[in-house]
Amino acid sequence: MASPEPSPTSAPASASGATVKRPGFWRRFSRHRLAVLGAVILALLAIACYGAAFVAPFPQDQQDLLLGPVPPSAEHWLGTDELGRDYLSEILYAGQLSLSLAIAVALISTAIGVFVGAVAGYRGGWVDDVFMRITDLFLVVPAIALLALALQGLGPSPVSIVIVLSLLGWTYIARVVRGQVVSLREREFIDAARVIGATHQQVLMRHVLPNLSGVIAVNVALAVAGAIIVESTLSFLGFGVQPPQSSWGNMLSQASGLIGTPKV
Query: Considering the entire predicted model, what is its pTM?
Result: 0.78
Kindly report the backbone phi and psi dihedral angles of residue 80, in degrees, each rounded to the nearest multiple of 5, phi listed first: -130, 165
Spatial separation of the C-alpha atoms in residues 231 and 80, rounded to whole Å? 23
pLDDT tens digits along 182-230: 888 878 887 787 788 778 788 888 888 888 887 888 888 888 888 988 8
**74-120 pLDDT, tens per residue?**
888 888 888 888 889 999 999 999 999 999 999 999 999 999 999 99
pLDDT > 60? residue 47 = yes
Q: Under 8 Å CB-to-CB from 174, ≥6 apart: which residues? A: 112, 113, 114, 116, 117, 120, 131, 135
Give the mean pLDDT of the chain. 80
Predicted confidence at residue 195, as pLDDT, reads 81
Per-residue pLDDT for 155 more than 80?
no
Q: What is the pLDDT of residue 203?
A: 83
Domain 27-48+98-258 has CATH 1.10.3720.10: yes
Asked whether the beta carbons of 243 and 250 are under 8 A apart, the reply is yes
pLDDT band at 11 (very low <50, low <70, confident <90, very high): very low
95 in Cβ contact with 47 (< 8 Å): no
Q: 104-128: b or e for each residue (b if 16 or more CB lie within 10 Å)? A: bbbebbbebbbebbbbbbbeeeeeb
HSE of 124, CA atoms in CB hemisphere, 13 A: 9
Round to whole Å and give the CA distance between 198 and 196. 6
pLDDT tens readout for residues 144-154? 777 877 777 77
Between CA 150 and CA 134 the distance in angstroms is 19
Stretch 131-143: mean pLDDT: 85
Q: Is residue 177 pLDDT above 80, yes or no?
A: yes
User: What percent of the chain has a predicted confidence (pLDDT) above 90?
Assistant: 18
